[in-house]
């Protein structure tokens, strides 16, 4: 195979982003064994396959690179060859593969090689039979080694998930899960249909020069598109939160035996600093605790109490989640002035959600069990890394550990020194760090 000047290779846009770890591994392999698999170029020296190999060779300092040159009629043929090369590689995640399937389908349609509904091998164009005949979805799926249904699901994922949500998905575990991606793609289906219908109506109004109707339909389309995006964002948050909840239920190996757990003596009205977290021992309805809280917390998680007097939480946190027993949410709503938004039933726990803002409710079923998983779900769904979380009753430290694991910042309190002591010791064992009395 020929060698060419490495700087003569043209890299066209719309390529997959580089994986730095893969490039580093290839650099070591090429240094030791040489380039075992040449890159692929078209006749114009446009790169068809091998961006990671090309990058690794450049970083090593090679001036020439071995290549295989194929003939492509035009840019569509070159891109199709590149897509087919990428589709045989195992490191693609479900989202990447779905986007390649959709792009491949659209290229074939432009080339007249994609069969439409009602087409068959005898379909003619201009009085002549098409050669080669257009291919059906089943034939296209068989070409790339997947079932027809899998290919259809993939194209649905690539077509229906809005670009902003796709960017959020990339690099997360959700990008590898076809089932989770399908749920996101199908979220807001009614709103997507409404947007498309309004856009068609807007085109008709433009053609008929009906300015008022045009503006009306454009506004309706924009509103439906925004609602569609928001529903998909909620579906994505829900998928991530359920993933985190399941991870929290797995036994952890992060246990340190070097922490002295018998020297902590918790006293009422004390404040303890646990790295970036804060724990207060005392009545969490007192001004002493409230003054310690940030004013911009993302979430507060609280259990119900016989005499609810934590209404102040809704002014300190964007969302207040109160975990209740079945049938007690109605009584809670009667005893609080916080704006009720909706209830979630997760496992066997009922959770009332309060907020000054209007919130979209997750619509998918919850496959979560145990308080640890439920707390992790709430923290992950309603907050982001670095967010503040308020816990006015520390329990067994579930929320503290969830915040530590998910990189949130916990402001917790409890009037029972024993529960505070148990939570601090649990955190110390989990992190291997030492708590400090403020």
Domain annotation covers residue 265: no
Assigned token pair, 152: 């259809």
Range of the domain at 158: 3-162
Cα distance between residue 173 and residue 95, in whole Å? 11
Identify the domain boundary among 103, 128, 162.
162
Cα distance between residue 101 and residue 233, in whole Å? 23
3-class secondary-structure state, position 228: helix
The residue written with tokens 């922490």 in the block is: 259
7 and 134 fall within a common domain: yes
HEC-encoded secondary structure of 276-338: CEEEEECCCCCHHHHCCCCCCEEEEEECCCCCCCCCCHHHHEEEEEEEECCCCHHHHHHHCCC
pLDDT at res. 146 = 77
355 and 424 fall within a common domain: yes
**Within the chain, which residues score under 70 in pLDDT?**
14-16, 88-90, 116-133, 135, 144, 249-263, 305-307, 364-365
13 and 100 fall within a common domain: yes
225 and 329 fall within a common domain: no
CB atoms within 10 A of CB 111: 14
178 and 150 fall within a common domain: no
8 Å CB contact between 67 and 108: no
pTM, two decimal places: 0.73
pLDDT at res. 369 = 75
Q: What torsion do the CA atoms of 237, 240, 243, 247 make, to the nearest 10 degrees?
A: -110
Angle 86-88-89 from CA coordinates, rounded to 5°: 70
Domain annotation covers residue 256: no
Q: Is the dihedral of CA 186, 190, 195, 200 positive or negative?
A: positive
pLDDT at res. 187 = 93
CATH of the domain at 118: 3.90.1530.10
- Write the DSSP string, 89-108: -TT--HHHHHHHHHHHHHHH
pLDDT at res. 345 = 87
DSSP 7: G
Assigned token pair, 58: 């450049």
Longest Cα separation, the chain: 92
223 and 337 fall within a common domain: no
Domain annotation covers residue 328: yes
Domain annotation covers residue 264: no
54 and 145 fall within a common domain: yes
Q: Is the dihedral of CA 321, 323, 325, 331 positive or negative?
A: negative
pLDDT at res. 248 = 76
Chain-centroid distance of CA 247 in Å reads: 15
Assigned token pair, 10: 């043209």
> Any residues with CB less than 8 A from the CB of 318 and at least 6 apart, and which?
297, 298, 299, 355, 356, 357, 382
239 and 136 fall within a common domain: no
Containing H/E element for 191?
helix 189-207
Identify the domain boundary among 102, 129, 162.
162
Strand partners, 336: none
Domain annotation covers residue 236: yes
Identify the domain boundary among 142, 162, 182.
162
Query: How many domains does one find in the chain?
Result: 3
pLDDT at res. 259 = 55
The 10s digit of each residue's pLDDT in 154-199 is 999 999 999 999 999 988 999 999 999 999 999 999 999 999 999 9
157 and 232 fall within a common domain: no
| Pairing outcome for strands 388-391 and 297-302 | parallel
55 and 155 fall within a common domain: yes
242 class by beta-carbon count within 10 Å (0-12 exposed, 13-18 middle, 19+ buried): buried
CATH of the domain at 301: 3.40.50.150
pLDDT at res. 257 = 53
The 10s digit of each residue's pLDDT in 272-286 is 999 999 999 999 999
DSSP 66: E
Angle 355-356-362 from CA coordinates, rounded to 5°: 40
């Amino acid at each position: 195979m020929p060698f060419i000047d490495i700087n003569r290779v043209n890299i066209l846009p719309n390529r997959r982003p580089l994986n730095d770890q893969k490039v580093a591994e290839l650099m070591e392999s090429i240094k030791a064994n040489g380039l075992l698999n040449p890159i692929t170029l078209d006749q114009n020296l446009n790169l068809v396959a091998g961006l990671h190999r090309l990058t690794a060779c450049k970083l090593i300092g090679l001036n020439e690179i071995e290549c295989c040159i194929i003939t492509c009629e035009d840019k569509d043929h070159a891109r199709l060859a590149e897509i087919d090369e990428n589709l045989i590689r195992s490191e693609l995640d479900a989202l990447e593969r779905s986007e390649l399937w959709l792009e491949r389908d659209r290229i074939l349609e432009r080339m007249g090689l994609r069969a439409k509904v009602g087409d068959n091998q005898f379909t003619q164009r201009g009085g002549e039979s098409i050669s080669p005949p257009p291919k059906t979805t089943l034939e296209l799926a068989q070409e790339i080694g997947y079932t027809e249904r899998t290919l259809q699901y993939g194209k649905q994922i690539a077509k229906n998930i809005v670009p902003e949500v796709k960017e959020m998905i990339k690099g997360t575990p959700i990008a590898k899960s076809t089932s989770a991606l399908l749920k996101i793609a199908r979220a807001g289906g009614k709103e997507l249909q409404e947007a498309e219908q309004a856009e068609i109506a807007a085109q008709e109004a433009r053609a008929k020069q009906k300015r008022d109707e045009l503006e009306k339909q454009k506004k309706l389309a924009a509103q439906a598109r925004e609602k569609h995006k928001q529903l998909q964002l909620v579906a994505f948050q829900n998928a991530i939160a359920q993933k985190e909840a399941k991870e929290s239920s797995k036994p952890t190996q992060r246990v340190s035996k070097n922490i002295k757990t018998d020297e902590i003596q918790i006293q009422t009205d004390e404040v303890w600093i646990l790295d970036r977290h804060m724990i207060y021992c005392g009545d969490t309805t007192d001004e002493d605790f409230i003054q310690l809280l940030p004013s911009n917390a993302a979430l507060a998680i609280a259990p119900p109490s016989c005499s609810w007097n934590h209404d102040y939480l809704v002014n300190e946190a964007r969302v207040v989640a109160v975990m209740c027993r079945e049938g007690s949410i109605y009584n809670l709503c009667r005893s609080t002035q916080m704006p009720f938004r909706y209830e979630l039933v997760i496992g066997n726990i009922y959770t009332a959600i309060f907020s000054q803002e209007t919130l979209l409710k997750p619509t998918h079923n919850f496959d979560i069990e145990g308080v640890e998983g439920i707390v992790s779900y709430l923290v992950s769904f309603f907050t982001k890394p670095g967010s503040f979380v308020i816990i006015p009753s520390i329990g067994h430290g579930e929320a503290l550990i969830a915040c530590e694991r998910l990189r949130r910042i916990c402001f917790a309190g409890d009037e029972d020194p024993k529960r505070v002591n148990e939570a601090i010791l649990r955190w110390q064992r989990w992190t291997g760090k030492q708590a400090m009395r403020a």
